[in-house]
Structure 1
Amino acid sequence: MFALTSAVGLIGLAAFALHSDDIATRHQTDNDLKLQTAEAMTGLDYDEDGQLDVRGLLDFMETDCPPLTVFSAHAGDLKAVHTPRRPCIRARMTDVRAIAATAVRRGDSAMSDAHAENGHPLRLLATPFTGPDGDTMGGAIVTAADTSADQKSHRELTLLLATGCAVLLSLSAVAGHLISGRAIRPALNALQQQEGFLADAAHDLRTPAASLRLLAETALRDDTSRTTALERTVRLATRMGDLIDGLLTRARLTAGVAPLAREPLRLDQLVEAVVDETPADGHRITVDAEPVVVDADPDLLRRAVTNLFVNALTHGHAADRPAEIELGVTTGGVLTVDDAGPGIPPDLADSLFDRFHSGSGSTGLGLSIAFRVAQAHGGTLTATGSPLGGARFTLRLPTHNK
């Protein structure tokens, strides 16, 4: 639309400029011809017998260039009284006589376009003059101008405007594409984020919703299993609440609208608090933390650390063995979480921090949220092999500068 609007405007302006140039050139040519015939008119006279005398015209004015042809009117017929001997422009006599007859008949100047004997375009002007009595038309003077140079200039101007319009339209199309793309990019990003959020929600809420319905139907049909069904319903509802909360957090972080309440905090103390508050269930947990102060949002950072720790508890051990997990905090704002589990599968190495890449028993959003939290704080989250034989997750955050 931007290019089309520009095209309409440019073509309209170009057409107006060409039309104006054509009219101005034609008017200039007509004015020059009128001046020539008006000057020639002063050299005409009549003798005592009422015959047209052109000697005064020949005495003071050149009639070959521009070519001047003088016609005398007698009884409705035109007779050429004077024709140029060596005209610089050789107009066809039929065209010259025709326009002279038109001027005499109308009693006013007549103009027309014609062609010379060599094919060049001409502009003809015939100006009538009165007879000896001063009432009737005595004849007409015809002059001609070669307009081939004017038409050549007009064609050059047309080519120049066409080329300029093509260049400007190309630039307009490119600029319109870039501007419209930049203008619509935020809307597309918002739409993609909305679609991603809906896909996230539909992906992981479908199964819990079906399970809730099945548990409710079971409780209605069987009174003996109602208590067990209600307990499972509560656990499932809690899991769904955690999932929805995770979805909203990730969506806000992805969209960049989650406000970061940055403040100096002790990363080592936060890690120790997360470990103390999370049920270990017999797993062997080791924390080696140096005092480190980072600039971070306490709630978001706690969520990221909790997700990394819970991921190690869930996937960092075999099914029949307790987990062995080591958490380390070192200077430079670095947190490492090591486990002795099966490690990172090769097929998940490139998509480990994408949503819904998890094992059973989790929402599949923990690592994705931790990764987004690290990005929001200007840090990084990477996954490598662990000296314990499993996976090592390394979270790096900017430290606090006093």
Structure 2
Amino acid sequence: MRPALPRRAPASSLTPTARVLRLRRRISLLFALTSAVGLVAMAVFAVRSDSARWREQLDHVMDADTSWALGLLETDENGRLATDVLADTVNTGCPPLAVLLTAPDDPDGLTVRHAPAAPCLSVGADVLLEAGRAAARAGDARGFDRRATDGAPVRVFALPFYPPEAAGDEGPQGVLVTVADATAQWDDHRRLVWGVAGSCAVLVLLSAAVGHVLSGRAVRPALTALGQQEAFLADAAHDLRTPAASLRTLAETALRGETDSTDVHRRTLRLAEGMGRLVDGLLTRARLMSGTATVTRQPLRLDQVVEAVVDEAPTEGHHVRVEAEDTVVVADPDLVRRAVGNLLGNALTHGHAPGAPADVRVRVTRDGTLTVEDAGPGLPAEVAGALFERFRSGSGSTGLGLSIASWVAHAHGGTLTAGRSEHGGARFVLRLPAPDARGRGPSDR
């Protein structure tokens, strides 16, 4: 039994990324095929033009030789053709000339009247007769590609001639046949063919590579959008699974009457608020990644933004110190507020031991630097290298807050770094660009 061949996966079973990559391959192939068709057509035209050109040149030279030889043919007093003068002149010349006489009213009845005794190119009598008969039947000059007796390529040219008093419908009296060596022309033509073929192959490969690069650039936005969509869906599925399960557990507990309804409502409200903040963070991060979030850069008092965020933050039971100098930066107020809030919220959540209040220090300096320090356990070594990626934090949270803060910093041309504070906890340093003398930031110049 023959083994079953593997089946190609249907288009509907492919992932969106796989379909985009398959589209890229098809675009690259189509680009290469289009280029190949155009190059092959041009190559065929060039080869045929060169082939016709060298044949026309040889035929032109041989036509001049045969036309000159016609003047050496004489007729005697009886009207018969005399070839003595022609034989004495071109008997050993090159290219060789042969005279073929035709029978009256029979173009195919040719006989060799004269052939050189020691020609420089030797061809068979059948070649001479074939060329002569074709010219006699056509009543005009004809050229042919043939081989000499030693195998060398030659060009055979036949020119019919007529008696002086021939009538308009009378056939030719004979045919002059000459042979020219075509070795040099064939060699040049062969080199041209190989050169054109090699150039076409190189250009097709080059066009395929260029098409692959261009198609990659063309589908890159689609791949980026798909990657962002998949990341967003993964973030949402990962982050919403736990609070959704908690809400379901609370609802089941309330239905069984196993707990106080007031406590259930309080915990439900807390979960709903957390889910709202989570969804808001997911949407903000998705907009930042996709570039759809508009960054409005304007002069902004960073110290005032920080003080407002601290005042609005739930700091009951925690100790937060603010040391702010008058600082102006060029940034988007909403995005900066979110980044500062995320850094402060991270310090309040993770910057203390369980059951102990957080001790957070927030400092703003005139160079546009915001420093948030806590006295907590510090940064875990296993997440220190990828702290600003999604799903990275030290206490089981999603890490979206730090990821969003990092995106905000980079969107403004600034930086966000993490390290160890003087009290052993974590230190986050957000640097935003300060305006120049004309009040513009680096992105506006």
TM-score by length of 2: 0.82
2:93 corresponds to? 64
Using the TM superposition, name which of 144-153 and 175-184 deviates more: 175-184
* One of 251, 261, 264 as aligned partner of 1:229: 264
Alignment deviations for residues 207-254 of structure 1 (CA, whole Å, 9 cap, x no partner): 222332333344344397444333322221211111111011111222
Matched, 1:97 2:129: yes
2:366 equivalent to 1:334: no
Cα distance per residue 1:21-79 (max 9 Å; x no partner): 11222233233333333333343333233422124545777872221111234587644
Partner of 1:367: 402
2:423 match: 388
Query: 1:29 maps to which residue?
Result: 58
Distance (whole Å) between structure 1 residues aligned to residue 417 and residue 300 of structure 2: 22
Task: State the match for 2:334 in structure 1.
Answer: 299
CA pair 59-346 structure 1, distance change in 2 beyond 3 A = same
Q: Which is worse superposed, 243-252 or 37-46?
A: 37-46
State the AA in 2 paired with 1:4: L
1:109-135 per-residue CA deviation (whole Å, 9 max, x = no partner) reads 454332113321112223333468844
Structure 1 residue identity aligned to 2:430: L
Determine the structure 1 residue equivalent to 2:80.
51
Further displaced range: 123-132 or 207-216: 123-132
| Aligned equivalent of 1:8 | 37
Structure 2 unaligned spans of 5+ = 1-29, 438-445
Report 1:2-401 matches (<5 A).
2-55=31-84, 57=86, 64-73=93-102, 78-104=110-136, 109-130=141-162, 134=166, 135=170, 137-222=172-257, 225-359=260-394, 362-401=397-436
Q: Is the 8 A contact 2:91 2:117 kept in 1?
A: no
| Post-superposition offset of 1:148 | 1.3
8 Å CA contact 1:218–1:225 kept in 2: the answer is: no
Deviation at 1:344, TM superposition (A): 0.6
Give the secondary structure class of the aligned counterpart of 1:281: coil
* RMSD of aligned residue pairs (Cα, Å): 2.7
For residues 334-381 of structure 1, the C-alpha deviation after alignment (integer angstroms, 9 at most, x for no partner) is 111111111111101111111122355854311111111111121111
Tell me the distance in 1 between the aligned counterparts of 2:267 and 2:402.
26
The one-letter code sitting in structure 2 at the alignment partner of 1:377 is H
Of 5-14 and 23-32, the range deviating more from structure 2: 23-32
What percent of counterpart residues are identical? 55
| 3-state SS in 2 of match to 1:212 | helix
Distance 2:182 2:50 in 1: 14
Quick check: 2:379–2:394 contact (8 Å CA) kept in 1? Answer: no
> Any idea what SS the aligned residue of 1:26 has?
helix
Q: Helix, strand or coil for the counterpart of 2:116?
A: coil
Amino acid at match of 1:116: A
Q: Is the 8 A contact 2:97 2:176 kept in 1?
A: yes
What is the identity, as a one-letter code, of the residue corresponding to 1:400? P
Partner of 2:5: none
Q: CA deviation at 1:8?
A: 1.8
TM-score (norm 1): 0.90
Q: Residues 132 and 138 of structure 1 are in contact (CA less than 8 Å); yes or no, is this contact kept in structure 2?
A: no
Alpha-carbon distance in structure 2 between the residues aligned to 1:221 and 1:387: 51
Check 1:32–1:208 CA distance in 2 against 1; reply closer, same or farther (3 A cut).
same
Task: Give the conservation status (yes or no) of the 8 Å contact 1:64–1:85.
Answer: no
Alignment-mate amino acid for residue 396 of structure 1? R
Distance 1:196 1:136, change over 3 A: closer
Tell me the SS of whatever aligns to 1:355.
Answer: coil
In 2 relative to 1, CA 19–286 (structure 1 residues): closer, same or farther, beyond 3 Å?
Answer: same
CA shift in 2, pair 1:206/1:101, >3 Å = same
Say how many residue pairs are matched: 402
Cα 1:102–1:184 change in 2 (3 A) is closer
Q: From the superposition, tell whether residues 361 and 72 of structure 1 become closer, same or farther in structure 2 (CA, over 3 Å).
A: closer
Shift of residue 104 of structure 1? 4.4
Structure 1: 5+ residue runs without aligned partners?
none
Q: 63-72 or 381-390: which moved more?
A: 63-72
**CA distances 1:144-164 after superposition (whole Å, capped 9, x unpaired):** 121111111111211221232
* Conserved 8 A contact 2:90-2:97: no
